[in-house]
A and B are shown apart, each in its own frame.
Chain A
Amino acid sequence: MEQLLKVSNLQTGFKNDREIQKVLHGIDLEVNKGEIVGLVGESGSGKSVTSLSIMQLLHGTPGKVLAGEINYKGVDLLSLKESEMRKYRGKELSMIFQEPMTSLNPVVKIGKQLTEIIMLHLKYSKKKAQGHAISMLESVGIPRAKDIMESYPHELSGGMLQRVMIAMQISCYPSLLIADEPTTALDVTIQAQILNLLKEIQETSNMGVLFITHDLGVVSEICDRVIVMYAGRIVEELSVDRLFEDASHPYTKGLIKSIPIIGQNKKKLFSIPGTVPSPRNMPKGCKFAPRCEFAMDICWQKEPALLDSNYGKSRCWLEAEDKEEAYDSKYSYRS
């Protein structure tokens, strides 16, 4: 499979008051052509920061990429100047955001927001760009596309706006699409439609998709591979076919157990006790140890490395067991 994106040892921090607080502690991930990779984790696990770091959209936030490499088709995006990076955004890598209602400009007509990106990257004339925009809107299932071009965002529903957003971000045929919880803000019925639409587009265009979500149900439906994040680290990676049977990390297992199943008459839904520790208060060893029912002595002392497991990779002492070399000196997490 052709590799599109390879992120290695990505470290991102947030400046607050005087110090820099690291929130991503060396993320490694790959997205291949024609593949949908799910990036899963609780709120605060660093999923969105990862995607914004890849797009280099941390500008205007206190966030800053501290180290690592983001290799896209052989080019290290982090070494690019802002003016060069702009040529990639929207053209090569596109992004769909969580809140369609606030992610489109309320005072600019839909048509202009669409043609703007088309004229910028495909160098079309205004008229040609409008034609292209209308056909893009039609391709994402928007009826009366011509009228919609003349509408303002507040005149459309959330689901429609997310379709507009998708049409906009795929209008310049990007090779990689980053979807940051694109269905979280939508009704369940609309969610399914948007997921199907994304899957369909991905299949016809053969682009790579990094799909960020906290919903394992969604992952199992559309992803090929899943990466689980916890506290700014990747804790498990495996193919979706294996997810439900062969997940090895207790955190992943906990996430799976907490999916409600229709028809199962449980009084109380399972939930992982506790919350994600704050970056200021990280435990010394495995970051999941305080919430883990299998935590051993070593878990409290040393952080395990991301090692090959039966069907993927896992960052857990249970997997590593005797492998003392598992302690990876490459990344020192005692920050």
Chain B
Amino acid sequence: MLQFTIKRLLSLLPLLLVVSFVVFMFIHFIPGDPARLMAGQDASLEEIEDARNALGLNDPILVQYTTYLSSLLQLELGESYRSGIPVIDLISDRIGPSLILTFLSILWALVIGILIGIISAVFRDKLPDRLGMLTAVSGISLPNFWLGLVCIQIFSVQLGWLPTGGVNDGLKSYILPSFALGAGIMAMIARFTRSSLVQTLKQDYIRTGRSKGLSSQSIIYGHALKNSLIPVITVAGLQFGFLLGGSVVVETVFSFPGLGQLLIDSISYRDYPVVQALILFFSVQFILVNLFVDILYSLFNPKIRYD
């Protein structure tokens, strides 16, 4: 297992190199001149040229890339064009709230989603199943910004129980955003759990379990659930990856100081170093989440052995 993990980590190196090159090149194809932006609106041509030299934008692309890589390796991600604050500080300020939000969203989505999935599978085609799947369809169909706005209206404005946004009220400020973010994922997990469990319950070994005199509960929790969770892990892993970087809309609704907000702000200001660092960061964490999911597979299914 350890050997497999190390091997996988090493094999990530070429992938990271490709990702970093794509990220580096990508930003050069976006229209807009960062030197002009940095020098200011009423700068003279000379001032702009100076800024361009200072940023190294006049060097050949390959030179720029190697400079970029070597500074990456030293974790020097440059400074924000806009504010002059080191990028690494900008990211590390916001990574905490973003991580907490992502974890909370995934956590409740997993717990409730799996529960609804189990109930639906066990009472297949009966009332609890219909209710469960209705919840799931609603979760998938309702856009999360709408859900967020409705929640703010009800719980913050009318009832006054929870803050409307920000992260200044501790855990309380995470409740509504994580609910809005997790609803769609919960729905997806519920559907995957249901269909997977329904398939598993048809297997021969479930009949064997019954022939041993086991109760329905021991069969579901002891024999069926573990076999059914592989597709669920896959979905949850992918969603986790998306959430860390992709919760822009919900972050905006709740004026949440997360990475998604930072990305949008930086893109609109053409703050190249921040955008580059964020995209790279999202790619790396996506790759790591996938690695983690792979390792989880082998824990859930002993047939999957990597070494």
- A-side residues, CB < 8 A to B, are 55, 57, 59-60, 83, 86-91, 94-95, 97, 99, 102-108, 116-117, 120-121, 152, 154, 165, 168-169
- Contacts of A120 on B, CB cut-off 8 Å? 212-214
- Contacts of B207 on A, CB cut-off 8 Å? 57, 60, 97, 103
Question: Which listed residue (A55, A86, A152) contacts B215, Cβ 8 A?
Answer: A86
A209 to chain B, nearest CB (A): 15
> Roughly how many angstroms separate A59 CA and B210 CA in the complex, as a whole number?
9
- Contacts of B208 on A, CB cut-off 8 Å? 97, 103-105, 165
Contact B211 A95 (CB under 8 A): yes
Please, which residue of chain B has its CB at the minimum distance from the CB of A86? B213
- Contacts of B209 on A, CB cut-off 8 Å? 105
> Roughly how many angstroms separate A88 CA and B211 CA in the complex, as a whole number?
9
Please, which residue of chain B has its CB at the minimum distance from the CB of A55? B211
Question: Which listed residue (A60, A97, A108) contacts B222, Cβ 8 A?
Answer: A108
Q: What are 26 A-B interface contacts by the 8 Å CB criterion?
A: A60-B201, A60-B202, A60-B206, A60-B207, A86-B213, A89-B211, A89-B212, A97-B204, A97-B208, A97-B211, A102-B203, A102-B204, A104-B208, A105-B205, A105-B209, A105-B227, A107-B302, A108-B222, A108-B223, A116-B212, A116-B218, A120-B214, A152-B302, A152-B303, A169-B211, A169-B212
- Contacts of B211 on A, CB cut-off 8 Å? 55, 57, 89-90, 94-95, 97, 169
B226 at the interface (CB under 8 A from A): yes
B211 to chain A, nearest CB (A): 5
B292 at the interface (CB under 8 A from A): no
A119 to chain B, nearest CB (A): 11
Question: Which listed residue (A108, A117, A154) contacts B213, Cβ 8 A?
Answer: A117
- Contacts of B300 on A, CB cut-off 8 Å? 107
Interface bracket on B: 20 to 34
B301 at the interface (CB under 8 A from A): yes
> Roughly how many angstroms separate A117 CA and B222 CA in the complex, as a whole number?
12
> Roughly how many angstroms separate A104 CA and B205 CA in the complex, as a whole number?
5
Contact A168 B212 (CB under 8 A): yes
Report, nearest first, the 6 A-B pairs whose CB atoms are least far apart: A90-B213, A89-B213, A90-B212, A102-B204, A105-B205, A117-B212
- B-side residues, CB < 8 A to A, are 201-215, 218, 222-223, 226-227, 300-303
> Roughly how many angstroms separate A97 CA and B203 CA in the complex, as a whole number?
13
- Contacts of A117 on B, CB cut-off 8 Å? 212-214
Contact A154 B210 (CB under 8 A): no
- Contacts of A99 on B, CB cut-off 8 Å? 204
Contact B227 A116 (CB under 8 A): no
> Roughly how many angstroms separate A249 CA and B7 CA in the complex, as a whole number?
68
Contact A154 B303 (CB under 8 A): yes
Contact A106 B212 (CB under 8 A): no
B144 to chain A, nearest CB (A): 34
> Roughly how many angstroms separate A147 CA and B227 CA in the complex, as a whole number?
23
Given A89-B213, A105-B223, A169-B212: 17 more A-B contacts, CB < 8 Å: A57-B207, A57-B210, A57-B211, A60-B207, A89-B212, A90-B213, A105-B209, A106-B227, A106-B301, A106-B302, A107-B227, A107-B301, A116-B222, A120-B212, A120-B214, A152-B302, A152-B303
Contact B204 A103 (CB under 8 A): yes
- Contacts of B212 on A, CB cut-off 8 Å? 89-90, 116-117, 120, 168-169
Please, which residue of chain B has its CB at the minimum distance from the CB of A96? B211
A5 to chain B, nearest CB (A): 16
- Contacts of B226 on A, CB cut-off 8 Å? 107-108
Contact A87 B213 (CB under 8 A): yes
- Contacts of A169 on B, CB cut-off 8 Å? 211-212
> Roughly how many angstroms separate A180 CA and B143 CA in the complex, as a whole number?
53
